[in-house]
Amino acid sequence: MDGSEMVPGDSEPTVVIPTQSLPTAVVEQKRKRSPFLWAFLGLFVLLIIGGTLAAVAIYSYKLGTDKARNDRSENANSSPARNSMTPVKTASPPSPSPSAETTSSPASTSTSDATEEATPIEWTTAASGFKEETGKTYKFLCPSGGMSGIIWGNDIYTADSSICTAAVHAGVITTEAGGEVVIEFRPGRQIYGSTTRNGVTSKNYGEYPHSYVVRKP
């Protein structure tokens, strides 16, 4: 402006300001963190699903166990209780033979006259084939060489016991010789014992409505 000649002087180099950017290590670190985060989230979701399924399975198992236990309890309560004090006969009592029924008709009309002629019977004949009236007596004739039948009781026998076998057990006659016996009906008992006498073993039994005793004529 004043007309002086311009003279070149010293000048400072131009300073280039670099652009701001994240270091490569920081970018790589952020990129590495992303897979771990997703893996953690996936594992967390799997744990929640697995725990839910396990809880449902345990609840279903417990529910089924309780139902089965209740069913068993109901079946046990609905089953009829058995009386353990009442024994069960191991064999059916022998039925009276036709000959005994036909030949015993005259004797059944007598009340207590044991002096009448003895009525022949078989070894399978039971006292239940006759009129089971308390105090009523009958005289029978057991054949020789017989075969023991089934009896229940000791001294006092159930009415469906074999008459001749009860007589052997009571010592009135023997199986080989047979012989005459007299029976007398008695009231029923709550229980009948079991013993072995004279080679005959009687059976025990519970309550029975009619009984009889055996004695010599």
- Distance between CA atoms of 60 and 178, rounded to whole angstroms? 75
Answer yes or no: is 7 within a domain.
Answer: no
φ/ψ (deg, to 5) at 214: -120, 140
Mean pLDDT of the chain: 77
Answer yes or no: is 79 within a domain.
Answer: no
Answer yes or no: is 65 within a domain.
Answer: yes
| pTM as predicted | 0.50
Answer yes or no: is 4 within a domain.
Answer: no
Judge contact between 120 and 143, C-beta under 8 A.
Answer: yes
Nearest to 138 by CA among 153, 150, 126, 149: 126
Answer yes or no: is 52 within a domain.
Answer: yes
The two structure tokens encoding residue 66: 């309780």
pLDDT tens for residues 122-139? 999 999 989 999 999 999
Q: Are residues 104 and 65 in the same domain?
A: no
pLDDT tens for residues 79-94? 333 343 444 444 444 4
Domain that holds residue 127: 98-215
Q: Are residues 204 and 115 in the same domain?
A: yes
Answer yes or no: is 80 within a domain.
Answer: no
- Domains contained in the chain, number: 2
Which residue would you say has higher pLDDT here, 139 or 2? 139
**Structure confidence at residue 114 as a pLDDT band (50, 70, 90):** very low
Residue 95: count of CB within 10 angstroms of its CB: 14
Express the helix, strand and coil content of the chain in percent, nearest 5 each.
35, 20, 45
Q: Looking at the predicted structure, is the pLDDT value of residue 151 above 80?
A: yes
Answer yes or no: is 81 within a domain.
Answer: no
Q: Are residues 107 and 183 in the same domain?
A: yes
Count of positions (residues) in the chain: 217
Bridge partners (DSSP) of residue 119 are: 140
- Distance between CA atoms of 166 and 148, rounded to whole angstroms? 9
Long-range pairs for 9-12 at CB < 8 Å and ≥24 separation? Answer: none
Judge contact between 95 and 60, C-beta under 8 A.
Answer: no
